[in-house]
Structure 1
Amino acid sequence: ATPPPAAKTFTTGVAKGRDLLDTAISASTLDDHDLAQLSVSSIAGIMQNIPGIRSETSDIDGFSAITIRGLPLAAEGSKFLQLQEDGLPVLEFGDIQFAGIDQFLRADLTLSQVQAIRGGSASTFASNSPGGLINFISSNGETAGGTVQVSSGVGHDLKRIDFAYGSPLGDGWRFHVGGFYRTGEGPRAIGFNGFSGGQIKANVTREFEGGYIRLYGKYLDDRQPNYGTLPVTVGGTNANPEIGFLPRYDIREQGYLSPLTRSYAEVDANNRPILIDAADGLAAKVAAIGLEAQFEVAGFTVTNRFRFSDVSGAYNDAVPFVTAPAPFFRQFGGPGAQLSYAAGPNSGQAITDARLLALSVRLHADLESLDNATNDLRATRVWELGEGKLTTTAGLYTSSQDVAMFWNFTSTLQDLAGGGRNAPVTISTATGVPVTDGGTLAYGFAVGLPFNVYHNLYDVNYDIVAPYGSVNFQIGKLAVGASVRWDKGDVAGQIFTSSFGGGRPAFVPLDVNGDGQISVAESRVATLPLTRPVAIDYDYGYLSWSAGVNYRFAESLSAFARYSRGGRASAETAIGAEALDPITGAPRDPALKVSIVKQAEVGVKFRRDGLTAFLTGFWASTDERNFQIAANSSGQAVVVPVNRTYSAKGLEFEGEWRRGPFTLVAGATFTDASIDEDLIDPAFNGLTPRHIPDFAFFARPSAEWGNFTLGAVVNGTTESFAQDTNQLVQPGYVIVSPFVQYRPAQGLTLAVNAFNVFDELAIVSLQAPAIPPSGITNAQVMNGRTVTASLRYSF
């Protein structure tokens, strides 16, 4: 039976774990019971069920854009929101290009609960988390028992096995171990196994009087397809667009790669020819070991968390840069040019009609090292002070984050057959001379941008030291608290890029495919000046603070108010070719180093007789100096500088109601966001930031009768703007995902989850700022109807 709501101790982003009604913060918790009802498995998908969070995802771990309380989505990742695993950050920075935090984090049966704090003291109890903090907490064997679960896609190929087991061992010892493995093509047709891999996690704990010590480890080796932006049709008007699909190309069900297009030739970080297998998709490898301890010393509770993570991986994507009828692409071969298939069953066959083809930008990022070592030491003591209690905390956080990675971009041409059958296309001159190599038009950008742009090699380290402290005084029903943190960072390393000039030319003739000849495409190959690194050497510092007051009117009712100021250091976006001064080794604009977020909030919390209701009003503002992927008037992707201030205000609601067999969990966020001032283009002043809807909500109704549980997860959002120009409206959506669980015997559960059962077209992002003349633009969408069946045995 479902347990009734109770006073849950909240421990993330605060000095001492407390009942939420006793804290001046806005926070949420998802436990293992909640997680089992969700029809999503991705980290970003889980976060869609937390109020205040805007999480753009196709239910894969990576290529997600996550923000909070209307703060801007200038790029992918989670710039203002820190993701933690067991109290320490997965990566120090949430917006490392092509390396989103959620790419290196997985949800499985080892996940005990998810705790989220919005604003509040998050900015002072973690670095680079001014908007909020989400902590994914692992089980640690407090209760004896285990679970084995096998699941399979219904109507699509994706098989998975999960397991978890933990138990006390006696004499204060306990342990927990678990993980998963999965394999299959996935819910979108690509013609090969897009998902392959898994993880294993384990911990052992020794409890003693006044504390404990825990050793834990994790090994993750997993890859998944990148469901990025794909072409759709757009008609109607900017205010009321009609989104459709190209013939036979419903992107809810179709991927972009195929066995014929998954591999292509390029050059590596040493300017040597290589063959890239884009089937690696979003690949993640993490080997982590950590130590957590808590003990009592002279009345102080001392806690230390340490973890070292060996992190690497790859990012692969294929983005349609130009989608057009076949004759359009003959211009690249000159007068009389010819088109034909370069591979597959139609290899050599001429293309003489006007079928749609796509010139793609193939993105490959080799994430060689994102290793990080973090340590958080704090001491807390509760002092009796008159009739009240004074809680003091002092802490020191240290971190070392590597960013060693290489990017390259390739331009290829393919058709849009769909069904995992897309094939590369050859362009030849009128005399039959190939302009492409097996579908590759350019080893770099074919149109619009210089070849050397975004062909970079980074090798940088970020060292962070952050002392922090807090005080909280509680007397009777009143509690008043404040906290402060000083972050100091040192950045050192080097970048290799021809964008600064000097050294090796930006592009050279190179036999990339190894056939002994220099083709047209191989006559200009983007390379790196490996003998001319540009040094990076700068530091930064910022102060964060927060103060709040909480009043508990009664056992069931409390209210709070809080104001916070938090900082967020920039990662490699501050040292790219567009931003770095190669002479000083620092960003040309010092303001690029740190963004400041200010938040005010006031809320009321109620919990009694099966009903829980939290309501919070908020105001948030930030300055943002960044580079943003936008689109020009024809819908093609462009990179634009951003120098703005933003603000947002709104309301967050989260509630839970239980009566007999019925349960309803719901949350909603109303947001009014604005670009307050654009220092580059004042025409943006007063406009609404892209992808920020006025209203978003979720609901989880369920009912339990004996051995049956029925329910649904409903996620919805109103319309927003596709781009900051506020022209093209991005339609809202409502996704209904029902689930049924049947328990035929003790410990045995059969379940069916149907994500998006009504096959709603849920637009995550539209690329074009307005309806383009071609009537075609790129869009990222959520999966269509996706059914999964599972069998779970708990013992």
Structure 2
Amino acid sequence: MKVALLASVAFLVVSNPGLAESVTPNTPPPADANDKQTPQSAKKVVFSTGVAKGRDLLDSAISTSAMDEDRVAEIGGRTLAEVLRTVPGLRVEDSGNGGHANYTIRGLPLAGTGSKWLQFQEDGLPVLEFGDFVELFNDMLVRPDLNLARIESIRGGSASTFASNSPGGVINFISKTGEEEGGTIQLSTGIGDYDSKRGDFEYGGRLSSNLRFHLGGYYRSGAGARDAAASGLHGGQVKLNVTREFANGYVRLNAKLLDDREANYVAGPMRVTGSDSDPTYTPIAGFDPRVNNTISKNLPAVLSVGVDPRIVRGELSQAWRVKSAALGLEAKFDIAAWTFFNRMRYSSNSSRVGGATPVLVTSAPALAALFGGPGAQFSFATGPRAGETITNAATLNGNGLAAYTALLNGGSPKADYFVNDFRASRVWKVGGGDLTLTGGVYKSLQNFTTILSMDVAYQDFAGPNSALLDLRTAGGVKLTQGGIAAFSTFPFTAISNRYADVDYDITAPYGSLNFHKGRLSIGGSVRYDRGSVKGQRFGTELGGGRTRWRPIDINGDGVISIPEQVADGIQADQPAPIDYRYHYVSYSMGVNFRIADDLAVFARYSKGARALADTLYFTPIINAVTGKPASNKDTYDPVRQAEAGVKFRTDALTLNLTAFLAKTAEQNFQIKAGANGVLAVEPFQRSYRTYGAEFEGSYQHGPFSLTAAATYTHAEIQNDSTDATLAGNTPRHQPSLIAQAMPVVDLGPVTFGSSVVYTGSSYGQDVNKLKMQAFTTVNAFIEYRPIERITFSVNGSNLFNTLGVTETTQGSIPADGIVNARVINGRTLSAAMRLRF
């Protein structure tokens, strides 16, 4: 760590004004990776993410995509996931949370949560070291707003060697840096049932001839896309950067403050008819998951057990909240034929995640009898009908259903992150061509704390009026406390309340060598990742006599109620260590041949890996006594990829076609329903094989433009050490085809268009029985500019209110036809006014 800091400081010292003259008013500022560059011709497109050095894409053996701020605005996504699902090759499971979505790319498995194989970056640095921390996904830390200049993505290829833990690809959110003088104010509001009010601003420009800045942010509030009769949206962010230019480079300071929250949309009950291979999903009476949620105004603030003896309070209606304060420094200088580039950032991050997740959904009478015995009866515990006995539970809310629900109260109290990426590059003239050498060192320090505290309660389903239920035996004995059945997940699940505090120290030197002569480009890169992982974890799964359930007076009334008799405390005096090191090598080799000025072909082979993060903490992989795995290979998952493609580009038409093959090994866990219908956590160890083809194209003619993309994927589980019968099956949540199209017509004062996203059918679970049907979402926008600098717009997301199922916890249709399913948001409309000045 000291070496990395000293190297960065030394670099900035030698690169400062003592060795660089200031830019004069008549000298244009130097270009850099974050600047909007006007290409020399319409045929030259330079890309800088996940590569050694920016180069025209027709001379690069990589698969990339980019969208500018105008295209992001036209997409009109309510969430970051809705924007990113238009990226070719990217599979997005968006349940409308605004974050906390699941992402994968080119058929790499989406077995767990988050974005395991895909790294999110802001201005060239990752926002978190790992994209699948259970309580803090990296998309929770990224907010598209008016600060955004463009989004660049690279799929496969050199992403394995120019970034750690990102073998699938990199998505880079690039900020404006004050190149254009002026600013924007935008006010937007939801229309109809979509409750969202938001204000955005940005301004940038020059403070002097060699100093420029950009400032922007947003604030919002409202219930969001699904009515919980409570504010689910509340918060915003502010970003600032200041750039000092010199004759041979620049230094940039950037900062961000983020404090935002959203409701947590989890799986809820749906009715399924038909067969596993041809099912029909329909909302149950009184509960439509497109517009309702398992949380409501009638669900109280919950108390749960944290690290002994602390009692933790959580507000369910504001189910996840993230905070981040980041400060970064970036510098680029040309010195003695070398280009030196350093990026550094420190961020203080935290999250809180809550929600109501049904563990078992069944008929209310059956649930009462299961837990209370024959003749047991429910009554309302919360809401306006609190205390009222439910005399006919079979007709409760018109659907007759109730759930044994886990009330989650968790998060990451601390996830501080330091990252530094230093690289140097030089180009030599060799044999009539350009030989480019790049070398660098990546250093990161990631702290991650995670806490999981759960209660279980009984709940009904009545749209925004859902309530908790009290349960009494036939003899009148009350088994609940305000609807809470137990201050643990007793007795059904093996998941206990947990806590962990772990530090990651990662060092990764890397280098590349590329040769470009005439029509031929050839090169390779290599990276060596070495990590040290140390910390502690607390939880009864670790064994060693660690106590689980015991009496705790949760509400402090001096009486131990029946639910308080089975409280699940986290034993602060019974830690288990985490203490191991890992290392792996990544490499990538590619060749590109430019057949003509507008046509090129390429091929590439890469090997990368993803180090395992918190999915390891509470598994047998880490010894509960020593804190070490049995083997270094147990600490990371390797990915081997081959790709070959053709690229064609003219002033009006761009066409890219790429074939790909990937082999992946993975250790992870899944949450799914067991044979008894109850949610369970299932660890696994398996390998996959995936092949397919990816198309991306764009066309422009006069006022009309069209961008389109499609990805065909054939994926299979090659072997599974925990369930050999899964070999040859298609991994869950893996459609064979995803496609997007976005036509736009720009008539000057009026611009209108649409984005259409098709997601093919896939299996709900790896057993390959119950399917999730294919669905298409249609989004549209119209902009009107009555005078210069003022724009009025209306956009709609999921205009036809499509019921798009993204997850089912059941592997086949149960006897009662009720499954837990997660879906995309229903139709939402919004209007905005934008003023440029």
Distance 1:74 1:667 in 2: 24
Matched, 1:348 2:351: no
Counterpart contact for 1:499–1:506, Cα < 8 Å: no
Match of 1:211 in 2: 249
Superposed, 1:543-562 pairs within 5 Å as: 543-562=585-604
2:801 aligned to which of 759, 774, 778: 759
**Residue type matched to 1:25 in 2?**
I
Match of 1:334 in 2: 373
Match of 1:82 in 2: 119
**Residue type matched to 1:525 in 2?**
A
Q: Map Cα deviations across residues 31-65 of structure 1 (whole Å, 9 max, x no partner).
A: 11210111214222221011111010123333311
* CA displacement at 1:336 relative to structure 2: 3.1
1:358 aligned to which of 400, 403, 408: 403
Counterpart contact for 1:573–1:579, Cα < 8 Å: no
Distance 1:591 1:476 in 2: 42
Matched, 1:15 2:59: no
1:273 aligned to which of 311, 316, 319: 311
**Residue type matched to 2:465 in 1?**
R
* CA displacement at 1:706 relative to structure 2: 2.7
Match of 2:7 in 1: none
Match of 1:196 in 2: 234
**Residue type matched to 2:373 in 1?**
G
1:122 aligned to which of 124, 148, 159: 159
Counterpart contact for 2:136–2:411, Cα < 8 Å: no
Q: Map Cα deviations across residues 147-203 of structure 1 (whole Å, 9 max, x no partner).
A: 111110001211001111111223211100001100001121101100000000000
Residues 520 and 793 of structure 1, relative CA distance in 2, 3 Å threshold = same
**Residue type matched to 2:480 in 1?**
T
Secondary structure of the structure 2 residue equivalent to 1:522: helix
1:40 aligned to which of 67, 77, 100: 77
TM-score (ref. length: structure 1): 0.98
Matched, 1:152 2:196: no
Higher mean C-alpha displacement, 473-482 vs 524-533: 524-533
Distance 2:302 2:650 in 1: 61
Match of 1:442 in 2: 486
Match of 1:493 in 2: 535
* CA displacement at 1:506 relative to structure 2: 1.1
Superposed, 1:478-557 pairs within 5 Å as: 478-502=520-544, 505-557=547-599
Residues 635 and 732 of structure 1, relative CA distance in 2, 3 Å threshold = farther
Match of 1:134 in 2: 171
Higher mean C-alpha displacement, 267-276 vs 356-365: 267-276
1:407 aligned to which of 438, 441, 452: 452
Distance 1:609 1:304 in 2: 35
Matched, 1:377 2:422: yes
* CA displacement at 1:785 relative to structure 2: 0.9
* CA displacement at 1:499 relative to structure 2: 2.4
**Residue type matched to 1:49 in 2?**
T
How many aligned residue pairs are there?
791
Secondary structure of the structure 2 residue equivalent to 1:744: coil
Secondary structure of the structure 1 residue equivalent to 2:136: coil
Counterpart contact for 1:110–1:138, Cα < 8 Å: yes
Percent of paired sites with the same residue = 45
Counterpart contact for 1:94–1:100, Cα < 8 Å: yes
Match of 1:790 in 2: 832
Matched, 1:368 2:410: no
Q: Map Cα deviations across residues 671-716 of structure 1 (whole Å, 9 max, x no partner).
A: 0111112222221111111111111001110111231111101001
**Residue type matched to 1:397 in 2?**
Y
* CA displacement at 1:514 relative to structure 2: 2.1
Distance 1:578 1:45 in 2: 37
* CA displacement at 1:620 relative to structure 2: 0.9
* CA displacement at 1:346 relative to structure 2: 0.9
Match of 1:254 in 2: 292
**Residue type matched to 2:654 in 1?**
T
* CA displacement at 1:635 relative to structure 2: 4.0
* CA displacement at 1:489 relative to structure 2: 0.1
Match of 1:51 in 2: 88
Matched, 1:229 2:271: no
Q: Map Cα deviations across residues 483-512 of structure 1 (whole Å, 9 max, x no partner).
A: 000000000011112223346621210111
Counterpart contact for 1:574–1:592, Cα < 8 Å: no
Counterpart contact for 1:633–1:769, Cα < 8 Å: no
Secondary structure of the structure 1 residue equivalent to 2:134: coil
Match of 2:332 in 1: 294
1:675 aligned to which of 713, 717, 722: 717
1:666 aligned to which of 705, 708, 724: 708
Higher mean C-alpha displacement, 333-342 vs 226-235: 333-342
Secondary structure of the structure 1 residue equivalent to 2:777: strand
Matched, 1:70 2:70: no
Q: Map Cα deviations across residues 225-263 of structure 1 (whole Å, 9 max, x no partner).
A: 111111100110011001011102111011221122141
**Residue type matched to 1:314 in 2?**
R
**Residue type matched to 1:701 in 2?**
P
**Residue type matched to 1:388 in 2?**
G
Secondary structure of the structure 1 residue equivalent to 2:604: strand
Structure 2: stretches of 5+ with no match in the other structure: 1-37
Match of 1:710 in 2: 752
Distance 1:410 1:430 in 2: 24
Secondary structure of the structure 2 residue equivalent to 1:580: coil
Residues 547 and 763 of structure 1, relative CA distance in 2, 3 Å threshold = same
Secondary structure of the structure 1 residue equivalent to 2:404: strand
Distance 1:350 1:337 in 2: 11
Secondary structure of the structure 2 residue equivalent to 1:586: coil
Secondary structure of the structure 2 residue equivalent to 1:278: coil
* CA displacement at 1:595 relative to structure 2: 0.5
**Residue type matched to 1:736 in 2?**
V
Secondary structure of the structure 2 residue equivalent to 1:584: coil
Distance 1:218 1:458 in 2: 27
Residues 632 and 505 of structure 1, relative CA distance in 2, 3 Å threshold = closer
Distance 2:677 2:756 in 1: 32
Match of 2:443 in 1: 398
Counterpart contact for 1:62–1:282, Cα < 8 Å: no
* CA displacement at 1:122 relative to structure 2: 0.3
**Residue type matched to 1:232 in 2?**
M
Distance 2:724 2:519 in 1: 49
**Residue type matched to 2:259 in 1?**
D
Distance 2:184 2:676 in 1: 53
Distance 2:831 2:79 in 1: 17
Q: Map Cα deviations across residues 632-666 of structure 1 (whole Å, 9 max, x no partner).
A: 23543222121111011111111110111111011
Distance 1:339 1:635 in 2: 21
Matched, 1:572 2:614: yes
**Residue type matched to 1:428 in 2?**
R
* CA displacement at 1:729 relative to structure 2: 1.0
Q: Map Cα deviations across residues 703-743 of structure 1 (whole Å, 9 max, x no partner).
A: 11231111101001111111111101110101111111100
Counterpart contact for 1:437–1:519, Cα < 8 Å: yes
**Residue type matched to 2:602 in 1?**
F
Distance 2:680 2:713 in 1: 28
Residues 260 and 589 of structure 1, relative CA distance in 2, 3 Å threshold = farther
**Residue type matched to 1:338 in 2?**
Q
**Residue type matched to 1:151 in 2?**
S
Distance 1:391 1:719 in 2: 45
2:141 aligned to which of 84, 104, 113: 104
Secondary structure of the structure 2 residue equivalent to 1:126: coil
Residues 185 and 247 of structure 1, relative CA distance in 2, 3 Å threshold = same
Structure 1: stretches of 5+ with no match in the other structure: none
